[in-house]
Structure formats: C-alpha cells, structure tokens
Amino acid sequence: MYGLIKEMLFNDTRKKRKGKAITHLHYGTAEKAKQTLRYLKGQPKGEQIRGAQTMYFRAKYHARQTRSMREAMKVYAAFLKKVKSTK
C-alpha cells in the first residue's frame, strides 16, 4: 500500500517532449507571455480569460517580481482589456 501511495505522490505523470515537460502557460517574460497568448487563442474564450488572468496575478503577486515579469503583466493586461471590450 505504501509503495502505491509513494508512486502516486512522486511520479511525474506529465508528458515529456525531449526531456522537458509540456507546459504552455508562462509569466516570466513578455516573450513567454506572447507565446502563452498564441497558445490560448486555440482554446475556448473562458479558458483564454482564466489562463491570462492566472498568469497576470501570478506575476503581480510574485515574491521576487522582476522587470520582465512586469512587462509580461502589461502583455496580459492588454489582452484582458481587449477581450473584455469585445463582449
């Protein structure tokens, strides 16, 4: 039983591509934010908004916020403003 629980807790079940985990949502730099928005364009509208808001607030409330995170926040803020104005 313990082995099964240990396997469930510590097993990385995410798909890997060339040694890296597949992740699409980033907030570290403006370029990564733009890549994230390109990925989100193919998702349903609600998921686009949730993803952009999540990344915006992760950057906003990060304990060690950098200048590049603030630039990423501007990218996400512009996207969210544009989406909300089209409703």
Query: What DSSP element (H or E) covers 31?
Result: helix 30-40
What does the pLDDT look like over 20-67, one tens digit per residue? 444 688 999 999 999 999 999 988 899 899 999 999 999 999 999 999
Q: What stretches of the chain adopt beta strand conformation (E)?
A: 16-17, 20-21
Q: What global pTM score does this model have?
A: 0.72
List Cα–Cα distances, 56 to 3, 18, 30, 85, in angstroms: 39, 28, 11, 18
Structure-token match 């396997």, residue found: 7
Domain boundaries, the chain: 21-85
Confidence band (pLDDT; 50, 70, 90) for 84? confident
